[in-house]
Each structure stands twice: as C-alpha cells, then as structure tokens.
Amino acid sequence: MSTVARVKRISIPQIRNRKGAEPLVCLTAYTTQMARRLDPHVDLLLVGDSLGMVVYGFDSTLPVTLDMMIAHGAAVMRGAEHACVIVDLPFGSYQESPEQAFRSAARIMAETGASGVKLEGGAEMAETVRFLTQRCIPVCGHVGLMPQAVNVAGGFKATGRSEEEARQVMRDAQAVAEAGAFAVVLEGTLEPVAAEITAALPVPTIGIGASAACDGQILVSEDVFGLFSDFTPRFVKRYADLGGQISQAAEAYAQDVRARRFPGREHCFLPKGASRTGS
C-alpha cells in the first residue's frame, strides 16, 4: 500500500449524503486548465453539454456529440483530483432506449474516468435512470428547464408557474430520484416549487435558477467569470469580468507589437555572452 498522502476524490455516496447538510458547491468545467483552477473550491464539476453553446458557438445544446463530451470529460479529469466529476449525456445519445443510454454512458465512464453521468428528463426517463444505476453507472437527474427540450418548450423558459407545471416538475423529480438518481439538478424552477421538491426528495437537489431552497447550486463557469456574453440568464451572478480583461490584454499586446515594444530582449534567444539589458 502506498504511504504517500493523496487527496481522495469526493465520491458519489458523499455527494448523496450531503442532503440537507452543507450546500453542495458545483460549477461546470470543459477544460483541464479551468478544472485545475476550480477543483480546490468545489464539491462537483459538471462537464455540461452547455459547452456546445459556450465553447463551440452553437445556438442550442442539440449539436453536441458523445465524442465531444468524452474529449472534454477526459480533459477535465486530467485537471481535477478532489472534485467529483460528472459528464452530461448529449442529445440523441440516450433518449432512444435504456440500452442506448447504457452504451453511451459506459463509453463516458470508461473513456473519461468520471464518476457518473447526468441526463435530462423526468418520469419518461425513470426506466433509463434505473437501468443505468443498476448497472454500475451513477446518474444525476435534470428536471425543470431542460435545454435539450428547447424545441418542444419554444425557448429556455422557467417552469413551475402554473399549478399544472409545478405538479409536473415535482412528479419528474420524484420519478428520477425513485429510480436511483444520486442527485437531481433543478433548472429554472420557481422558488416555492423548488423548496417543495427539495423537501420531498431523499437525494440532494442542485439548483440553477431554482432558488436558495436547493441542497446545492450550480452555474456555468463562463457566466460566473464573465467569459460568455451571448446571453445572460437572470439567475447568473457574475463574480469577475475575465472577458473584459482578455479584451484589454489583447489591445495592449496589439499596441506593443505595432510599436515594436514586444518582444523585448528578455524574450529573445541571444548568442552566448550577449547582454540582455544593454543594447
């Protein structure tokens, strides 16, 4: 046995056991470098299919492929040692049948080393959630505003406004939890509905635009750091303006190159004995 002290990764049972305890801190990550920065501060990193919109510039998450999710999932795993890493199943990779979902999820597990997968859907996906969890694949549910359903919903719209919608989201959350999901993401859901669902479920709810009543919170990291501005959902709080800093840095670099201020002697490979400071 190794005597070297190593950081042990947060496990799926540890995430599940945080129900009603300290809030679960979650963010998305798509790259190794971002994962490295976030890893010490979060409980869970989600490799979200939102990368289709944030990284690839698509106007929905529908064009995202399983191969893209696997490439980014593996990249995030190379940068994260402490956080539990979960990968989204992309549109078209799981809706057809539990068997299709298993084949896609098994590729994610084997080829990325992530601890579990997330899939969108409620009661209609409960059978699939059970099929995966009974076959060694931890599943996180995702109900309420489901971005892969954008064409059915007619936009990215909050849900739970009518009594009927509220009952639907509750039914969906309970169905996936009952089917074995270790946690359920609640997106774009009115506060009283999110509070009721959180009280009813035996597993943690992770909210995005679903109020402080949830057992945890998640946001898209690029929204949090000011690196994405195509749109800003009202549930986003921005903690930095890295996009503005990149613009300023690019402008400064361009000015330096045009004025021949960059590169300086310290950036050059010089013959032996040449002075770096003199001219």
Ligand X SMILES: Nc1nc(=O)c2c([nH]1)NC[C@@H]1CN(c3ccc(C(=O)N[C@@H](CCC(=O)O)C(=O)O)cc3)CN21
59 is in an annotated binding site: no
Pairing of strands 116-118, 84-88: parallel
Largest CA distance in the chain: 80
Annotated active-site residue 187? The verdict is: yes
Residue nearest to ligand KIV (CB): 48
161 counts as binding ligand X under rule CB under 6 A: no
The answer to whether 49 is annotated as binding is yes
Work out which of 63, 95, 156, 191 binds ligand X, going by CB under 6 A.
156
Among residues 208, 210, 213, 214, the one that binds ligand KIV under rule CB under 6 A = 208
Q: Could you please report the per-residue DSSP string of 250-267?
A: HHHHHHHHHTT-SS-GGG
Alpha carbon separation from 242 to 18, 74, 183, 204, 247 (Å, rounded): 32, 25, 31, 31, 9
What is the rounded (10 degree) CA torsion for 174, 179, 180, 185? -40
- Check residue 223 for interaction with ligand X (CB under 6 A): yes
Residue 71 structure tokens? 């490439």
Q: Is 185 in the site for ligand KIV (CB under 6 A)?
A: yes
Q: Can you tell me which of 28, 189, 198, 217 binds ligand KIV, judged by CB under 6 A?
A: 28
Binding residues (CB under 6 A) for ligand X: these are 50, 53-54, 61, 147, 155-158, 220, 222-223, 228, 231, 233-234
Residues belonging to the binding site for Mg(2+) are: 49, 88, 120
Catalytic site positions: 187
